[in-house]
Structure 1
Amino acid sequence: MTPAIRLLESQGIAHQVTSYELENGSGSYGLDAARALALSAASVFKTLLAQLDDDRLVVALVPVDASLDLKALARAAGTRKARMAEIATAERTTGYLVGGISPLGQKKRLPTFIDEGAMSLETIHVSAGRRGLELSLTPNDLIALTAARVVDLARRGSLCE
């Protein structure tokens, strides 16, 4: 059981945990999860860590079929620039390995931003804290648990990240 699952259970939040086999994938853990679980890529969100120009770390959640607009994230966080956090920093800060970083149950609670597309979904799917393990819950529950701000962060067909 991961910290993310323990958090949901301790709070009595309705959720579902699904596991899947990791095979020779696309190199994108989120897209691989969507394919393995036969889910719409627009409903599976990846958890990304970014570092702002004032050195604060923030969490951003966007659909796995989109990229993160770092400029939009920086604006939402009240700074001018954001860049992706180093892998070692992301893993050390969250307590999870890249490809399995959950927005829930992280070692250090960070400001969290979620793409507004989540609000059109009945169920959102995020990592449960381990590669090959996915959580399903309502967007409102995820937002409440992470104190996330809902903003326009996702870009399709761009090279933002």
Structure 2
Amino acid sequence: MKILKISAILFFCWGINLTGFAQKIPADALKGDFDGDGKPEFAWITSNMKEQKTEDDFGQCNGGDCQCIIRFSNPKIRGIIVPQCIGSDALQNEGDLNGDGRDELSLVPSWWTSCWQACHVYTFQTNGRWRELIKPFSVYCSHLADNPDVVRSVAPKTIEIRESTMGEEIGIKTRKIKVN
């Protein structure tokens, strides 16, 4: 009975498909081969942010902490839980950045109060888990609006990132990083 209650809560709050039934893929879902099996799957983000019905509802999320989940059409691919997230400023398929035969994902999560966010780049492992391919880096919202492609492959196992910086002015620093 306890498992059924937890499943019902997860399904209600997150829309998590725990029953094996087909799930609806959003029209804006990303297509890619995230597990490297040669078959395309789709990825999209969901949020547990409460729908604002009154002024008092602003800034609240179902279940307490605001989190998002990057979900996948292939039920064998575990979702990625993203803390401090109410949506996505940019969720992108980056292609195979590290030469492992699997497409990587980047995410710049949305938050309530700031234009400064961290870009996360995720890679799927052979053990069925996700890990961050590189250390998250800063991105400012106007830089995303100008060009959402803040990660790109420049050579085998080498990427270039466009990181937002703060000095006397907000700027962009481009740097290359080796990845595995």
TM-score (norm 1): 0.25
Higher radius of gyration, 1 or 2: 2
Query: 1 or 2 for the larger relative contact order (CA 8 Å, sep ≥6)?
Result: 1
Structure with more strand by fraction: 2
